[in-house]
Amino acid sequence: DIQMTQSPSSLSASVGDRVTITCRASQSISSYLNWYQQKPGKAPKLLIYAASSLQSGVPSRFSGSGSGTDFTLTISSLQPEDFATYSCHQSYSTPWTFGQGTKVEIK
Amino acid sequence: QVQLQESGPGLVKPSETLSLICTVSGGSISSYYWNWIRQPPGKGLEWIGYISNSGSTNYNPSLKSRVTISVDTSKNQCSLKLSSVTAADTAVFYCASRYCTNGVCYFNKWGQGTLVTVSS
């Protein structure tokens, strides 16, 4: 199985901050990397697919980059509605696997 | 607009079989691959498996011996059965559709999830 490791596990930030979350794969997954946002009690929502493609309807302050084993999700200016947990997901090979999640909290 | 809704018992006894249904509305169940994903309380997401639009299945090896995913096209429903459950199977279970763009696949639609607790 491909292991996905996110860092940090949690972070505290203020509205307007630039936030970066990292996801590392245990082997190369090319650009088969997706990012989801999850709020408490809700289902995950797709933000970014194929490492850097913004899902329709997602604000442009979200961006993704990387390929191979190292990926980042960046929120350019954190908004109140962005406080949530973010998870990466590899679809390079089954079993598809997720990172453990990064919780973004209000500072 | 495709919508997914999970349903099933919220409480299952240890050693019994967990059975859930995902009802698809606003689209044909034959159009997509249907996945089940679970999330234990306070933990990360785990992919359980999928059934394709041709009926083939692919299961997570960690659960393969206990999982069955099937589709009832007449009801536009996908079902999950997980046998011999233990407390470790307590989780929120989601159904999700898989979509692929230029070969990269992702989960584009999710149900709201249903919590299943395994306890006597």
Task: Express each pLDDT in B45-82 by its tens digit.
Answer: 999 999 998 999 999 999 999 999 999 999 999 999 99
pLDDT surpasses 90 at B10: yes
**DSSP structure string for B86-117:** -GGG-EEEEEEEEEEETTEEEEEEE---EEEE
- The average confidence (pLDDT) of chain B is 96
Chain A positions in Cβ-Cβ contact with residue B94 (cut-off 8 Å): 43-44
Chain-chain contact of B104 with A50 (C-beta, under 8 angstroms): yes
Is the Cα dihedral A99, B31, B53, B36 positive or negative? positive
For CA atoms B62, B65, B66, B70, give the dihedral sign. Answer: positive
Of A44, A50, A99, the CB nearest to B110: A44
CA distance A22 to A65: 10
Q: Do B110 and A94 touch (CB under 8 A)?
A: no
User: How many angstroms separate the CA atoms of B101 and B89, rounded?
Assistant: 32
Size of the A and B interface in Cβ pairs below 8 Å:
59
Handedness of CA B16, B57, B108, A20 (dihedral sign): positive
- What is the mean pLDDT of the segment spanning B11-40? 95
Q: Residue A81 carries which DSSP code?
A: G
Residue B60: list chain A partners with CB under 8 A.
Answer: 94-95
What DSSP element (H or E) covers A67? Answer: strand A62-67
User: Along the 107 residues of chain A, how does pLDDT read in single tens digits?
Assistant: 999 999 999 999 999 999 999 999 999 999 999 999 999 999 999 999 999 999 999 999 999 999 999 999 999 999 999 999 999 999 999 999 999 999 999 88
Closest partner CB to A96 (pick from B47, B101, B113): B47
Smallest Cβ–Cβ distance between A32 and the set B104, B107, B113 belongs to B104
Gap between the Cα atoms of A68 and A25, Å rounded: 8
Beta-carbon contacts of residue A90 (< 8 Å; ≥ 6 apart):
A2, A4, A25, A29, A32, A33, A34, A96, A97, A98
B108: nearest CA partner in chain A: A46
Q: How close does chain A come to B10, measured CA to CA in Å?
A: 15
A53–B101: do the CB atoms touch at under 8 Å? yes
Q: What percent of chain B has a predicted confidence (pLDDT) above 70?
A: 100
Name every residue in A having a CB less than 8 A away from some CB of B: 1, 31-32, 34, 36, 42-46, 49-50, 53, 55, 87, 89, 91, 94-101
Residues A21 and A73 sit within 8 Å (Cβ to Cβ): yes
